[in-house]
Amino acid sequence: MSVRFVIIGGGPAGNTAATVAATLGAEVTLIERDIVGGAAHLWDCIPSKAMIATGGELAEIDRARAMGLAAEGRLDFPALKERVASIESRLHESVRSLLESQGVRMLHGTGRMISPYSVVVTTEAGEEEIDADAILLAPGSRPRIPEWAPIDGERVLITRHAYPPPEIPEHLVVIGSGVTGVEFTHMFSTLGSEVTLVVSRQQVLPAKDPEVAAVLEEEFMRRGVKLLKGARAQTIRRDGDRIFVACDDGRAVEGSHALLCIGSVPNSDGLGCDAAGVVVDDRGYVPGNRHCQTNVAHIYSAGDISGRLPLSSVASTQGRKIAEHVMGLTAVAHRHLDYDKAASAIFTEPEIADVGLAEAEAFAAGRKLRVTKVPFSSNAKALIMGDPRGFVKVLSDPATGVVLGGSIVGRNAAELISVIALAVANRLTVSDIVDSLLVHPALAESLAEAAS
């Protein structure tokens, strides 16, 4: 008899696990209350990057003028909204038809466990109980909303209201300067909004390399973004078409819209973890071991609910590994996920990407490191493209040359980091990068230069 695998949540974690497990012969049921593709397709990764791409094209037109073209750009907001919706629906359709072609049973409804081996799904037609040999919890997360934020979806927004927003804000106050906050700041400033960014620490992207954050701050200031540093928002008040944000240091800022980007909370409530005996930690995450098994061996958790790196790429890789584990494939050359080696990117202008060891933390821990930094201003391709901003930084072990990490700030950083990520994941050395015969002229030449 084939393995009955029930998955709650059809985001990157759930739909990848479903496809892989079905390919390997499992009898898969996937329960999703919104759309397969998940929040990643509906509100998070995809719409954000689609809108950022439009803003990027507007910035490109500005640069084109510097390259001798008489070009003029103007935002067509209805066309932008249509474009975002069409990308979402194409991706949703491609995930749905892939699942269908693999024979995955898709149920549109809300799932919850009622025992360690059974899940109830509530659909429009009523309730159905499904028996399971293995269960995956992949319900994702939602934006965190503190009690002082009177979210109304019109003027006081969370990220889910902003892709696309009801209108392009005249003056947006972004609260929170982590990855999401800076991406929104970037996006709306390129789309023509005046933006004030409330930064609770002394630098944007507090978890990132200060040199990386500095390039972004400089770019924001060049574009007229106002940074309110060392200020923690305490209240938001709406008065007609204006919003007022008051901070804990006494400063206040007025704008047309406020947008909250202060993190997320896991969707573990209502999953029936108690009924199944699954441990939920005090922040609402469902932790797992290296195979993503919870304390109940045949119940797995993946994606944002696992409390690991909240990235779509991590969620889908976990989903694939779980499907293999459920189907007993772990003995065959199984590599465990090493979350410290996950590459990540921030889709601002310039783009920011990093992987592996962080320089400041490594030095603080007394670790010996070889750090080489090369600016794009000496790269032929960057000069040809008229965008020499940023740099490449490669971190390696001085004794062995093994690449331990790196950061890239600049054009196509999210693509270029793949080379360093491959080196970090496979313990390649700086010589392996330097000895690769790369293309000229190319931005990637700066990688080889930083590795030499």
Ligand X SMILES: Cc1cc2nc3c(=O)[nH]c(=O)nc-3n(C[C@H](O)[C@H](O)[C@H](O)COP(=O)(O)OP(=O)(O)OC[C@H]3O[C@@H](n4cnc5c(N)ncnc54)[C@H](O)[C@@H]3O)c2cc1C
Which residues contribute to the site for ligand X (CB under 6 A)? 8-14, 31-34, 38-40, 44-45, 48-49, 110-111, 138-140, 159, 180, 267, 270-271, 303-304, 310-313, 315
| Cα 63 to Cα 316: distance, rounded to the nearest angstrom | 36
Least separation in angstroms between CB 39 and ligand X? 3
Q: DSSP for 216-254?
A: HHHHHHHTT-EEEET--EEEEEEETTEEEEEETTS-EEE
φ, ψ of residue 147 in degrees (nearest 5): -70, -20
Least separation in angstroms between CB 386 and ligand X? 26
Least separation in angstroms between CB 437 and ligand X? 31
Nearest residue (CB) to ligand X, 348 versus 446: 348
| Cα 311 to Cα 303: distance, rounded to the nearest angstrom | 7
Nearest residue (CB) to ligand X, 48 versus 348: 48
Least separation in angstroms between CB 30 and ligand X? 9
DSSP state of 436: S
Residues 6+ apart with CB under 8 A from 228: 196, 197, 198, 199, 247, 251, 253
| Cα 239 to Cα 75: distance, rounded to the nearest angstrom | 28
Nearest residue (CB) to ligand X, 34 versus 397: 34
Nearest residue (CB) to ligand X, 134 versus 382: 134
Least separation in angstroms between CB 125 and ligand X? 15
Residues 6+ apart with CB under 8 A from 97: none
The dihedral through the CA atoms of 258, 263, 269, 271 has a sign that is positive
Cα distances (Å, whole numbers) of residue 81 to 34, 151, 260, 399, 434 = 20, 22, 21, 53, 44
Nearest residue (CB) to ligand X, 143 versus 405: 143
Q: Which helix (H) or strand (E) holds 27?
A: strand 27-32
Nearest residue (CB) to ligand X, 396 versus 407: 407
Least separation in angstroms between CB 162 and ligand X? 8
Least separation in angstroms between CB 288 and ligand X? 12
Least separation in angstroms between CB 57 and ligand X? 18
| Cα 236 to Cα 255: distance, rounded to the nearest angstrom | 11
Q: In what order do the strands lie in the sheet with 126-131?
A: 110-115, 118-123, 126-131
Tokens 């003995």 locate to 331
| Cα 144 to Cα 267: distance, rounded to the nearest angstrom | 11
Q: Which residues pair with 239 in a beta bridge?
A: 242
Nearest residue (CB) to ligand X, 321 versus 381: 321
Q: Beta 233-239 vs 299-301: how paired, if at all?
A: unpaired
Nearest residue (CB) to ligand X, 11 versus 255: 11
Least separation in angstroms between CB 96 and ligand X? 12
Least separation in angstroms between CB 137 and ligand X? 9
Q: Which amino acid is at 339?
A: Y
Taking the mean position of all CA atoms in its chain, how far away is CA 349? 16
Least separation in angstroms between CB 49 and ligand X? 6
Cα distances (Å, whole numbers) of residue 232 to 203, 206, 248, 295 = 13, 14, 6, 38
Nearest residue (CB) to ligand X, 173 versus 247: 173
Nearest residue (CB) to ligand X, 196 versus 317: 317
Q: What dihedral angle (degrees, nearest 10) is formed by the CA atoms of 51, 56, 61, 64?
A: -160
Tokens 């080489």 locate to 372
Nearest residue (CB) to ligand X, 161 versus 381: 161
